[in-house]
């Protein structure tokens, strides 16, 4: 498989494009996407067998199980990042090595129900929090030390809305390809 094909599988919905100034409609679309993500992931994975949860969405990509656990890990971190940015002045956040998290026993072997419940709870709280924020709140920032720059909360809302769509597309890809990638 050539590099272009791999990139298409990795970014089937396209790469994230930051938007610091979404229209009210765009922002509401992001909130709706965040609100719906736990339900979409649960619907996509309902009734999957253990073998199907081991389907990969691309060569050397994660399994469906790992994608579901990654979404819970990542979005837990997002809620913490939002809270830090709202309660501290431009805090430096703690990055995490998602590639290393994805190979831990709880991600490789654990049934996905625990992560589905985490997504449900985190997104319930996250969306409630985001709907309460003012324009000034959304301009607050955190610093990501690996990127060496500040991120606004409004940009981060868009990022996590995209992130959920990005990985639900991966689950669909894995199911459509019936696990042919290893």
Contacts of 174 (CB under 8 A, 6+ apart): 55, 56, 57, 63, 64, 67, 181
CA-CA distance, 170 to 84, in Å (whole number)? 30
Q: Which domain holds residue 106?
A: 24-176
Average pLDDT in the 9-38 region?
96
Looking up residue 44, the CATH number of its domain turns out to be: 1.20.120.450
State pTM to two decimals. 0.95
If one counts the domains in the chain, the total is: 1
Q: What residues does 63 pair with on adjacent strands?
A: 56
Q: Is residue 4 part of a domain?
A: no
Q: What is the pLDDT of residues 124-161, one digit of tens each?
A: 999 999 999 999 999 999 999 999 899 999 999 999 99
Q: Is residue 169 part of a domain?
A: yes
């Amino acid at each position: 498989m050539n590099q272009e094909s791999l990139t298409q599988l990795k970014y089937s919905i396209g790469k994230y494009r930051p938007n610091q100034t979404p229209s009210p409609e765009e922002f509401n679309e992001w909130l709706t996407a965040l609100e719906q993500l736990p339900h979409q992931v649960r619907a996509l994975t309902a009734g999957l067998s253990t073998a199907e949860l081991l389907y990969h969405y691309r060569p050397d990509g994660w399994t469906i199980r790992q994608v579901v656990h990654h979404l819970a890990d990542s979005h837990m971190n997002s809620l913490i990042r939002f809270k830090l940015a709202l309660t501290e002045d431009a805090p430096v956040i703690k990055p995490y090595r998602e590639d290393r998290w994805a190979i831990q026993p709880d991600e490789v072997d654990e049934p996905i129900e625990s992560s589905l419940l985490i997504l449900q709870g985190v997104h319930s709280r996250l969306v409630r929090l985001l709907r309460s924020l003012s324009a000034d709140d959304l301009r607050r920032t955190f610093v990501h030390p690996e990127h060496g720059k500040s991120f606004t909360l409004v940009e981060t809302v868009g990022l996590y809305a995209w992130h959920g769509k990005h990985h639900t597309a991966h689950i669909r890809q894995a199911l459509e390809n019936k696990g042919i990638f290893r």
